[in-house]
Structure 1
Amino acid sequence: MVLLMMTFGGWVNCSPEGSLMLLILCVQMLTVAAHPQCLDFKPPFQPSEPLTFCTTYSSFGCCDAPRDAAIARKYRHILSYFHHSGIAVCAQYVRQLLCQQCSPFAAHLYDAEDANTPVRQVPGLCAGYCAEYWKRCRSTLSLLTGDPRHTELEADQARFCGLLELRDPDYCYPAVLASRRLNARLGAVRADPRRGCLQLCLREVANQLRNPVAMVHAGDGTRRFFVAEQLGLVWAYLPNGSRLARPFLNLTEAVLTSPWLGDERGFLGLAFHPAHRRNGKVYVYYSIFARQAERIRISEFQLLPGNINALDPTSERVVLEVVEPASNHNGGQLLFGRDGYLYIFTGDGGRAGDPFGRFGNAQNKSSLLGKVLRVDVNHNDNGPPYRVPLDNPFVGERWARPEVYAYGVRNMWRCSVDRGDPVTGAGAGRLFCGDVGQNKFEEVDIVRRGGNYGWRAREGFSCYDKKLCTNSSLNDILPIFAYPHKLGRSVTGGYIYRGCEMPNLNGLYIFGDYMSGRLMALKEDNASGEWHYHEICMGRGQVCNFPKLINSYYPYIISFAEDEAGELYFMSSGNPSAYVAAGTVYKLIDPSRRGGILFLFKASTAGEMSL
């Protein structure tokens, strides 16, 4: 899995305890990380035909041709009140201000994102522009807003600009047009124009995260969710979506990170014990440098006494450490199976082609690298941190580590447990993983007890090491799906959908690709056992035209998640550095299930109105 790391040597503490200067800096940092959004909560788009009036936004913005024509009509109406000399001076101001409804950042310019303030009638202006506008054309304000009371502001520049100025220097007009940071990647991921794809919408759940690598729930009925950032912070979110000010866990001092682009080390995995409500235990997977070597560490933490929203940093108990011979292929998945055991997914040790030893780490059962490990951390308060389940497949085999559950994997990045069909229970307990390929193929696997997944003999369905590939004793398990690098270059494993909100998606395995930003799905043929590929694209036209739904996302798909109800999410970033707050959590929404909900809401509202 390719992940980009920090670009700065330090980070800013945005906690309430910080000084006023730090608070101001934090606000500025968070603002820069915001993304394009229109006044109707939808993302910007490319108009189906060029705009004839607000031509600045013909290639990408928030207006279609009818909206553009309506703005032009209002422009002509306003100018009808002016003498030709006034038109010569004020026409450009009126046109510029009206057309900001078409800006990709309209929601920011009009304060539409803040539910506690009314939407502005005029876009927020920068101080210098507002002073110039007041001097030249202040009499147009009441015409722009349609409120004659605004004529009272014309004589007082301070009151006039106090109403119109936007204090944010990045998003005020016209500074927003000149910001390279804000405009560099506009429209990087848009609706897929191909026919036949599965059209979905999204709801933004959390944002301004630094490489969100994992999102999990506690399984305790509280409906909280926890998001881990690669630099070593875990945040707790309440059911209403608000994030607690203090981290659930802070391991930034211990986690091994670097300024290198493409560094795969860091905080990589998080899992709550199935009996967390009773024992308060949480398990984490992260990179460290200790005893003159880079290592991956799996540790156990416990809740602070009397606080379900924070782990005790002094309670860390190391479960397992494995030396990493190289800095890449660190694996990173932790999860509990339906059997109650902890599954640990390690990478092959790094470099290229698994060059360690005669057959590589992945094919060497005496190595813990390139493996799926299975250990018992239940009832471990007295004694060792884990025990080996007696039914692990290689217990008692000479030269094999008993923790090994499956082997021959390269660098499995994001795995999940199938909840099973909600009616029949079919499929329950299956382990799905995305295994990142070498230079030709990415693959999706179902992990089985004792299975050999072929690396480095195979990459996907293809031979990689021809000598190993012809060794019939390997008896390797082929992936359920593999795709070439024309579709993507770094698979991000996902989940089988088993929730209630989107029955049309039931049984689909939904996953993505980090490098291409592609969302994909697999559907199992129950008769043949084969899996068939389906493209996922963002809903086009009016498909996602519902409040708070969007149809675009940041392209670097880092991870997927499932909440307590089985609904699906994914995490991606527009600037995937572990020290840049550009990561977002999205919830997947099937728009075909939204129409009925909206209709019922409207009918109910209409009924109340008639009463």
Structure 2
Amino acid sequence: MLRRSIPRGDPPIFPWQAPWLPMSSHFFCLCLTFFLGQMGLLQGHPQCLDYGPPFKPPLHLQFCSDYESFGCCDQRKDHRIAARYQDIMDYFDLKGHELCGRYIKDILCQECSPYAAHLYDAENPRTPLRNLPGLCSDYCSAFHSNCHSAISLLTNDRRLQESHEKNGAHFCHLLNLPDKDYCFPNILRNDHLNRNLGLVTEDRQGCLQLCLTEVANGLKNPVSMVHAGDGTHRFFVAEQVGVVWVYLPDGSRLEQPFLDLKSIVLTTPWIGDERGFLGLAFHPRFRRNRKFYIYYSCLSKKKVEKIRISEMKVSRADPNKADPKSERVILEIEEPASNHNGGQLLFGLDGYMYIFTGDGGQAGDPFGKFGNAQNKSSLLGKVLRIDVNRAGSDGKRYRVPLDNPFVSEPGAHPAVYAYGIRNMWRCAVDRGDPSTRQGRGRMFCGDVGQNRFEEVDIIVKGGNYGWRAKEGFECYDTKLCHNASLDDILPIYAYGHTVGKSVTGGYVYRGCESPNLNGLYIFGDFMSGRLMALQEDRKTKKWKKQDICLGSTKACAFPGLISTYSKFIISFAEDEAGELYFLATSYPSAFAPHGSIYKFVDPSRRAPPGKCKYKPVPVNTKSKQVQFRPLAKTVLDLLKEQSEKAARRFSNATSASRPDRASPRKGSSRKPASPTRRRKMFPGPGAKKRARVWSPGPQGKRKKSEKPRSGRLSQSAQRRRAGRSVPWPFLSRWPTRGRARGGPPRPAEAAAAEAGP
């Protein structure tokens, strides 16, 4: 990191090369370098020049074929690099082709390396890029010796050009990287660095290393986040107090809420109160009928606590506002206690609505002889399935599907689809594998346990999930548990209370941006704050659990990524594109505005650029948009703060013992160095640096007097060379307006360039 403190192009100043630096400064330099090295900044990690993770190219790379299985180039960029290579090689005769061709190709193709950001010194987006990738000393010496005339064709950086004219050692010193494992070509040959490229990173205990981005904050116990499936890519976030907010694809939130039922919804500021606005679902044909459904706690006129499921419509005048007069109550269920209220609404692939209710509360489901959950005449502790598109013959505002499993059973409520449930908190329908559709339609739920176990279930028609006879895989009520007629469905996974005490069901990831996560069921625990994943073995049909650990500073050192989150995991969510999120709070009270939403990111691999693009259907907004302001500090911000603190700490520790702070010796004319002078002598990591020119390719006209010293050019090429510069299509369309001269394009600019006009 010492070379970051000096202008690009000048050799690093080490203590033994600078006798004018006092020894305290030497100590400061070495300690700071060691500290930053310990933080992982000197080691590279897979990252591209657009500051994103590498990817698997969708099509074969014809030119930079070393990176066709994994890297930073798609076919379009590969063609651009090949075109630039041809332009450069036009300057060489046959002998020049033989001497320089392979070197030039290798150097150009480092833009495709999965470690391109490290090779070009771009891991920190706040610093300019190198002109040429970091080369290993032996390779650089051979390149300079055989065809150093190519240097003026590869870059127009005068310092690099002048350095190679003086001597090769100085030129190679400028392209040196501190860690020899990460320079080219060592980085390509290093089995340790390349063995697991593209796979989800795991630590020594097998914990998956993922990262997050903060999407929203300042929410009051956000219990649900859903999309309308109408192509607008809005998402609707419900707070426990009864307010629903609209978030637009650009990350902004509408100032006016979509729905405000605070005056009706029953909840309190008590920590852990399970009542409130608990569920929200949009009709599969929402774009046509404007219908959505809500699930909330309320008080009847006789002050009896109830669960209410209602249908509402969106206002015709404003697509971002619910019509408050449109509510039609579909179903109400009395609650004998204030807890175990369920709260999930889902639409299955069959078009029917599924309602997940709790067992009625208290400990051990004490209601009746066998409890509510085992009583098929009760609507508590159940999965209900109803048809909301038709009214029933008995005056109900829904119809019971004729193929419900207990329609013909005497005493059973016909709406019951599955039973034996304690308090399922958060369920989701699997979209299925994007290619094979495998798993499509499966319904996953997290069922909160009593004293010992939490469980994850897949809902099947007519299934008995065992409560109160069983908790997880174990018996809870021994007498019921040994009843041979129980025939209960076992969970796909259960864990004890040493891991967590309140499961929060999640989703099977089927998004586009993080291909590694496809098929993983990701869920968490409200109390412990743990994130976990289940992976299915297709042969044995068994599910294996892996912990999710937010990545180290090295793994998550990408712009915008964070590695911390609020502890209490309330819910999980899926946006319209299939990307996965979770909702959490640092203080679990329905009235505390400490809730946030986080999006999962796999730092090991992403989808190829352009693959996951979508065009949201425009939606008129009449309310003012509130722009999102993140509160969580990114990993890069934290690393910067740590380095600055370290610099100040070492500076304070060493300045007290510096000779120039003592009184001058008698007879000495030297005065103590002023703080300003000391800053000039050693600017430090926070000082401004001269901009490094972002131009691995030449961009200006060359002088006619330029002559190659080796790798001879053809006569025609020498004649053309005087008035022609080699274009670099990789940069030619990147806008420079508003960017400091010589600075690298930032991700938004790069994306715009890739998109084309």
User: Normalised by the shorter chain, which TM-score bucket?
Assistant: 0.5 to 0.7
Out of 417, 423, 429, the residue aligned to residue 435 of structure 2 is 423
User: Structure 1 pair 234/595, CA: closer, same or farther in 2 (3 Å)?
Assistant: closer
Equivalent position SS for 1:472:
coil
d(CA) in 1 for partners of 2:438, 2:36: 50
2:239 matched to which residue of 1?
229
Out of 305, 311, 316, the residue aligned to residue 322 of structure 2 is 311
Equivalent position SS for 1:558:
strand
1:200 matched to which residue of 2?
210
2:36 matched to which residue of 1?
66
Letter in 1 for 2:369: R
User: Structure 1 pair 595/417, CA: closer, same or farther in 2 (3 Å)?
Assistant: closer
Work out whether residues 192 and 538 of structure 1, in 8 Å CA contact, stay in contact via their aligned partners in 2.
no
d(CA) in 1 for partners of 2:34, 2:460: 52
Unaligned runs of 5+ in 2: 1-23, 26-32, 40-125, 127-200, 611-693, 697-728, 737-741, 746-757
Identity of aligned residues (%): 66
Out of 350, 367, 375, the residue aligned to residue 364 of structure 1 is 375
1:271 matched to which residue of 2?
281
Higher strand share: 1
1:321 matched to which residue of 2?
332
1:26 matched to which residue of 2?
none
User: Structure 1 pair 580/67, CA: closer, same or farther in 2 (3 Å)?
Assistant: farther
d(CA) in 1 for partners of 2:608, 2:565: 25
Work out whether residues 209 and 229 of structure 1, in 8 Å CA contact, stay in contact via their aligned partners in 2.
yes
2:450 matched to which residue of 1?
438
- Cα distance, 1:596 vs. partner? 7.7
Could you report, residue by residue, the CA deviation over 1:72-107 in whole angstroms, capped at 9, with x for unpaired residues?
A: xxxxxxxxxxxxxxxxxxxxxxxxxxxxxxxxxxxx
User: Structure 1 pair 527/227, CA: closer, same or farther in 2 (3 Å)?
Assistant: same
d(CA) in 1 for partners of 2:431, 2:270: 38
1:36 matched to which residue of 2?
none
Out of 340, 343, 354, the residue aligned to residue 354 of structure 2 is 343
- Cα distance, 1:422 vs. partner? 1.1
Letter in 2 for 1:334: L
Out of 308, 313, 334, the residue aligned to residue 345 of structure 2 is 334
User: Structure 1 pair 597/507, CA: closer, same or farther in 2 (3 Å)?
Assistant: same
User: Structure 1 pair 244/535, CA: closer, same or farther in 2 (3 Å)?
Assistant: same
Equivalent runs, 1:133-148 vs 2, <5 Å: none
Residue 522 (1) aligns with residue 534 (2): yes
d(CA) in 2 for partners of 1:293, 1:340: 32
Letter in 1 for 2:347: F
Greater relative contact order: 1 or 2 (C-alpha under 8 angstroms, separation 6 or more)?
2
Equivalent runs, 1:292-303 vs 2, <5 Å: 292-303=303-314
2:412 matched to which residue of 1?
400
1:145 matched to which residue of 2?
none
Could you report, residue by residue, the CA deviation over 1:178-234 in whole angstroms, capped at 9, with x for unpaired residues?
A: xxxxxxxxxxxxx99863211101011111100000000000000000000000000
d(CA) in 2 for partners of 1:390, 1:595: 44
Could you report, residue by residue, the CA deviation over 1:259-295 in whole angstroms, capped at 9, with x for unpaired residues?
A: 3222100000000000000000010000001133100
d(CA) in 2 for partners of 1:503, 1:596: 10
- Cα distance, 1:602 vs. partner? 11
d(CA) in 2 for partners of 1:192, 1:262: 34
d(CA) in 1 for partners of 2:512, 2:314: 31
User: Structure 1 pair 193/473, CA: closer, same or farther in 2 (3 Å)?
Assistant: same
- Cα distance, 1:332 vs. partner? 0.3
Equivalent position SS for 2:314:
strand
Work out whether residues 433 and 445 of structure 1, in 8 Å CA contact, stay in contact via their aligned partners in 2.
yes
1:556 matched to which residue of 2?
568
d(CA) in 2 for partners of 1:380, 1:213: 30
- Cα distance, 1:546 vs. partner? 1.1
Letter in 1 for 2:569: I
User: Structure 1 pair 284/595, CA: closer, same or farther in 2 (3 Å)?
Assistant: closer
- Cα distance, 1:459 vs. partner? 0.1
Length-normalised TM-score, structure 2: 0.54
Residue 572 (1) aligns with residue 572 (2): no
d(CA) in 2 for partners of 1:360, 1:472: 18
Residue 463 (1) aligns with residue 433 (2): no
- Cα distance, 1:379 vs. partner? 4.3
Could you report, residue by residue, the CA deviation over 1:117-143 in whole angstroms, capped at 9, with x for unpaired residues?
A: x9xxxxxxxxxxxxxxxxxxxxxxxxx
Letter in 1 for 2:542: E
Letter in 2 for 1:262: G
- Cα distance, 1:531 vs. partner? 0.3
d(CA) in 1 for partners of 2:319, 2:609: 35
- Cα distance, 1:541 vs. partner? 2.6
Could you report, residue by residue, the CA deviation over 1:19-59 in whole angstroms, capped at 9, with x for unpaired residues?
A: xxxxxxxxxxxxxxxxxxxxxxxxxxxxxxxxx99xxxxxx
d(CA) in 2 for partners of 1:389, 1:381: 10
Greater than 6 Å deviation, 4+ residue runs: 595-598, 601-605
2:509 matched to which residue of 1?
497
Letter in 1 for 2:284: P
Residue 378 (1) aligns with residue 389 (2): yes
Letter in 1 for 2:269: P
Residue 473 (1) aligns with residue 496 (2): no
Could you report, residue by residue, the CA deviation over 1:467-501 in whole angstroms, capped at 9, with x for unpaired residues?
A: 00000101000000000001000000000111111
Work out whether residues 453 and 494 of structure 2, in 8 Å CA contact, stay in contact via their aligned partners in 1.
yes
d(CA) in 1 for partners of 2:608, 2:345: 38
User: Structure 1 pair 602/592, CA: closer, same or farther in 2 (3 Å)?
Assistant: farther
d(CA) in 1 for partners of 2:591, 2:207: 35
d(CA) in 2 for partners of 1:433, 1:562: 15
Equivalent position SS for 1:467:
helix
d(CA) in 2 for partners of 1:458, 1:196: 30
* 266-275 or 588-597: bigger deviation: 588-597
Out of 382, 388, 407, the residue aligned to residue 400 of structure 2 is 388
Unaligned runs of 5+ in 1: 1-51, 54-62, 70-117, 119-190
1:487 matched to which residue of 2?
499
d(CA) in 2 for partners of 1:388, 1:341: 9
Letter in 2 for 1:241: G
Length-normalised TM-score, structure 1: 0.67
Equivalent runs, 1:116-265 vs 2, <5 Å: 195-265=205-275
User: Structure 1 pair 380/302, CA: closer, same or farther in 2 (3 Å)?
Assistant: farther
* 350-359 or 383-392: bigger deviation: 383-392
- Cα distance, 1:306 vs. partner? 2.7
- Cα distance, 1:67 vs. partner? 9.5
Work out whether residues 271 and 590 of structure 2, in 8 Å CA contact, stay in contact via their aligned partners in 1.
no
User: Structure 1 pair 310/488, CA: closer, same or farther in 2 (3 Å)?
Assistant: same
Instruction: Give the RMSD, CA atoms, in angstroms.
Output: 2.8
Could you report, residue by residue, the CA deviation over 1:533-577 in whole angstroms, capped at 9, with x for unpaired residues?
A: 111001103211111111111110000000111110000011121
Equivalent position SS for 1:313:
coil
Letter in 1 for 2:578: G
* 297-306 or 516-525: bigger deviation: 297-306
Work out whether residues 353 and 438 of structure 1, in 8 Å CA contact, stay in contact via their aligned partners in 2.
yes
- Cα distance, 1:355 vs. partner? 0.1
d(CA) in 2 for partners of 1:591, 1:377: 42
Letter in 2 for 1:357: G
- Cα distance, 1:597 vs. partner? 6.4
Work out whether residues 442 and 491 of structure 1, in 8 Å CA contact, stay in contact via their aligned partners in 2.
yes
Work out whether residues 298 and 321 of structure 1, in 8 Å CA contact, stay in contact via their aligned partners in 2.
yes
User: Structure 1 pair 253/447, CA: closer, same or farther in 2 (3 Å)?
Assistant: same
Out of 238, 263, 280, the residue aligned to residue 290 of structure 2 is 280
Tell me how many residue pairs correspond in the alignment: 429
Residue 585 (1) aligns with residue 597 (2): yes
- Cα distance, 1:380 vs. partner? 4.9
Letter in 1 for 2:251: G
d(CA) in 2 for partners of 1:515, 1:593: 31
